């Protein structure tokens, strides 16, 4: 039995609007095709949209979750969790395409598993980052408000754009951030004068036995980035760190280690604000989610510990390369 | 402000550590023994871990009369609660 559009959940409605974008991003599995501007099941003659499939009773996915070996899923979760915790991006931006395109996991199960993996990665890496004093709690708390609001209201903004507009804007923005991050990879955001007041949201960082001060600049830009990050989180199953970290580091004057650690601290909450809706709708595949989360937990602890040893410039270059790859792919597929 | 937040960091760290350790144990048991109930409990506990740390941060800051950041954290908690 299918519900009418008027009765579908807000998440389902937002996915109905954003569903074609999933195809454009290569996030939708092959069994979902474009039909009259909507994402429909290849096997569905009635042209059921992803929203109606989401709301349907008795049939959770358009195709069954493949019996992929748990060990493989754990390895995939570990790889994305490691990169995610190194850079404070959670790894969802890499995990969703890997699960859908490489392992054939249905898109809703992949998004839900990604959100759970992001929570695992964020929680694990935050235990290390808090211990090292890399998390800026004050900045994180303020930006969390905007991220959580973005998660709630972002789908409404996204629904006003066509799939092409949405992905060209997002893809070009990532490409621009990638180029800017690469260009400024040698630039430091820290000030060696420790007598300087860092302000309410700034802070201090000790590297190689030397204490530095940093100040947060262009705060409205950080608020905007957090809103956008929250908006894309629920739709694409990512934590939003891929937007927040480069903006905080490149444009707002926050050192890369602080930006990554503070982002990792926030993205757990960002993912949590969306994942309960997926859980309530029955889209969490327990085995897939458990396996990727189990891989992400130890790998994220390792990544957070390694990040201390990796040079700030190397972290920025890695972030720039991921931004360019994801942004390029989204832009090319949308054009 | 910095001193008050530093006091809370240890508590948040302990909450996150407890959350991931208990969840991981349940997920390992669930996958190894093919127990759906253990998997479900592990996943739900993991999902609740960030919520628990927001609760602790909010209560901790409000108890310390840090109204500015306590109320900021309360707003995040209310937004999160609206999705539960």
What is the sign, positive or negative, of the torsion defined by CA atoms of B37, B39, B43, B49?
Answer: positive
Q: For residue A198, which of A138, A144, A146, A261 has the smallest C-alpha distance? A: A138
Contact A141 B76 (CB under 8 A): yes
Other CB atoms within 10 Å distance of the CB of residue A70: 17
- Which residues of chain B are within 8 Å of residue A200 when distances are taken between CB atoms? 1
Distance, CA of A325 to CA of A171 (rounded, Å): 10
* Shortest Cα distance, chain B CAs vs residue A276, angstroms: 6
Gap between the terminal Cα atoms of chain B? 31
- Mutation site for A-interface testing, chosen from B13, B76, B77, B84 by largest number of A Cβ within 10 Å: B76
Distance, CA of B23 to CA of B19 (rounded, Å): 6
Rg (alpha carbons) of chain B, rounded to whole number: 15
Position A55 scores a pLDDT of 40
DSSP state at residue A6:
G
For residues A185 and A171, the answer to whether their CB atoms sit within 8 Å is no
Instruction: Pull the structure tokens for residue A219.
Output: 């705060």
What is the mean predicted confidence (pLDDT) over B35-58? Answer: 94
Other CB atoms within 10 Å distance of the CB of residue A259: 31
For residues A151 and A233, the answer to whether their CB atoms sit within 8 Å is yes
**Which of the two residues, B44 and A210, has the higher pLDDT score?**
B44
For A315-331, letters b (16+ CB in 10 Å) and e give: bbebbbebbbebbebbb
Contact B50 A297 (CB under 8 A): no
Contact A152 B83 (CB under 8 A): yes
Rg (alpha carbons) of chain A, rounded to whole number: 19
* Shortest Cα distance, chain B CAs vs residue A34, angstroms: 30
* Shortest Cα distance, chain A CAs vs residue B3, angstroms: 12
Under 8 Å CB-to-CB from B63, ≥6 apart: which residues?
none
Chain A residues whose C-beta is within 8 A of a chain B C-beta are 70, 116, 119-120, 122-124, 126-127, 130-131, 135, 137-138, 141-142, 144-145, 148-149, 151-152, 200, 268-269, 271-277, 279, 284, 286-287, 289-291, 293-294, 297
pTM for the predicted model, two decimal places:
0.78
- Which residues of chain B are within 8 Å of residue A122 when distances are taken between CB atoms? 50
* Shortest Cα distance, chain B CAs vs residue A226, angstroms: 13
DSSP state at residue B84:
-
Cα A181 from chain centre: 18
SS (H, E, C) A147-161: HHHHHHHHHHHHCCC
Whole-number percent of chain B with pLDDT over 70: 90
Instruction: Pull the structure tokens for residue A116.
Output: 């759970």
* Shortest Cα distance, chain B CAs vs residue A319, angstroms: 25
- Mutation site for A-interface testing, chosen from B34, B47, B54, B72 by largest number of A Cβ within 10 Å: B47
Distance, CA of A107 to CA of A129 (rounded, Å): 32
Contact B28 A152 (CB under 8 A): no
Q: HSE on the CB side for A278, CA within 13 Å?
A: 30
Whole-number percent of chain B with pLDDT over 90: 68
Classify A81 as helix, strand or coil.
helix
Classify A127 as helix, strand or coil.
helix
Q: For residue A245, which of A314, A141, A316, A179 has the smallest C-alpha distance? A: A316
- Please report, for residues A94, A288, B77, B82, the alpha-carbon distance to residue A148 in angstroms, rounded to integers and kept in the order given: 22, 26, 9, 11
Instruction: Pull the structure tokens for residue A186.
Output: 């040698």
For residues A248 and A260, the answer to whether their CB atoms sit within 8 Å is no
For A261-272, letters b (16+ CB in 10 Å) and e give: bbbbbbbbbbbb
Position A21 scores a pLDDT of 42
- Which residues of chain A are within 8 Å of residue B57 when distances are taken between CB atoms? 137, 141
- Can you give the pLDDT of all 335 residues of chain A as single tens digits? 333 344 444 444 444 444 444 443 444 433 344 444 444 444 333 333 333 333 433 345 666 677 778 889 999 999 999 988 888 887 888 888 888 878 888 877 888 899 999 999 999 999 999 888 888 988 999 999 988 888 766 555 555 666 677 677 777 878 887 888 888 777 766 666 667 777 777 777 777 677 778 888 888 999 998 888 888 776 776 778 888 888 888 888 888 888 989 998 998 888 888 888 888 888 899 999 999 999 999 999 999 888 878 887 888 888 889 889 888 887 887 77
Position A297 scores a pLDDT of 95
Position A48 scores a pLDDT of 38
Contact B50 A119 (CB under 8 A): yes
Place of tokens 């211990």: A131
Inter-helix orientation angle A137-158/B2-33, to 10° = 60
Count A/B contacts: CB-CB distance under 8 Å. Answer: 116
What is the mean predicted confidence (pLDDT) over B30-53? Answer: 93
pLDDT tens for B10-27 read 899 999 999 999 999 999
Of residues B13, B69, B76, nearest to A269 (C-beta): B76
Position A122 scores a pLDDT of 93
DSSP state at residue A284:
-
């Amino acid at each position: 039995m299918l519900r009418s559009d008027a009765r579908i959940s807000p998440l389902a409605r937002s996915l109905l609007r954003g569903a074609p974008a999933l195809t454009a991003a290569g996030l939708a599995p092959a069994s979902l095709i474009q039909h009259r501007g909507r994402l429909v099941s290849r096997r569905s003659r009635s042209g059921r949209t992803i929203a109606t499939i989401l709301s349907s009773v008795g049939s959770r996915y358009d195709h069954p979750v493949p019996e992929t070996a748990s060990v493989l899923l754990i390895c995939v979760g570990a790889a994305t969790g490691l990169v995610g915790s190194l850079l404070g991006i959670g790894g969802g931006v890499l995990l969703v395409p890997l699960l859908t395109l490489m392992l054939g996991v249905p898109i809703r199960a992949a998004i839900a598993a990604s959100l759970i993996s992001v929570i695992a990665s964020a929680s694990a890496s935050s235990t290390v980052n808090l211990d090292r004093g890399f998390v800026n709690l004050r900045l994180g708390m303020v930006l969390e408000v905007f991220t959580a609001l973005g998660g709630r209201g972002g789908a409404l903004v996204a629904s006003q754009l066509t799939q092409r507009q949405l992905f060209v804007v997002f893809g070009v923005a990532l490409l621009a951030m990638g180029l800017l991050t690469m260009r400024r990879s040698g630039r430091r955001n820290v000030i060696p004068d420790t007598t300087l007041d860092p302000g309410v949201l700034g802070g201090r960082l000790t590297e190689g036995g030397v204490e530095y001060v940093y100040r947060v600049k262009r705060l409205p830009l950080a608020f905007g980035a957090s809103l956008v990050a929250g908006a894309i989180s629920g739709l694409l199953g990512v934590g939003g760190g891929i937007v927040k970290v480069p903006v905080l580091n490149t444009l707002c004057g926050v050192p890369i280690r602080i930006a990554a650690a503070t982002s990792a601290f926030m993205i757990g909450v960002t993912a949590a604000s969306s994942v309960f809706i997926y859980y309530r709708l029955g889209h969490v595949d327990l085995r897939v989610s458990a396996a990727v989360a189990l891989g992400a937990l130890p790998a994220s602890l390792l990544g957070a510990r390694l990040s201390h040893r990796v040079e700030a410039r190397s972290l920025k270059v890695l972030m720039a390369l991921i931004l360019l790859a994801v942004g390029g792919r989204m832009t090319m597929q949308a054009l | 402000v910095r001193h008050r937040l530093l006091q809370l960091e240890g508590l948040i760290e302990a909450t996150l550590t407890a959350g991931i350790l208990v969840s991981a144990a349940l997920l390992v048991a669930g996958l190894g023994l093919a127990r759906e109930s253990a998997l479900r409990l592990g996943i739900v506990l993991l999902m609740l871990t960030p919520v628990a740390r927001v609760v602790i941060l909010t209560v901790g800051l409000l108890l310390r009369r840090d109204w500015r950041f306590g109320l900021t954290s309360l707003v995040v908690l209310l937004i999160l609660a609206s999705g539960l």
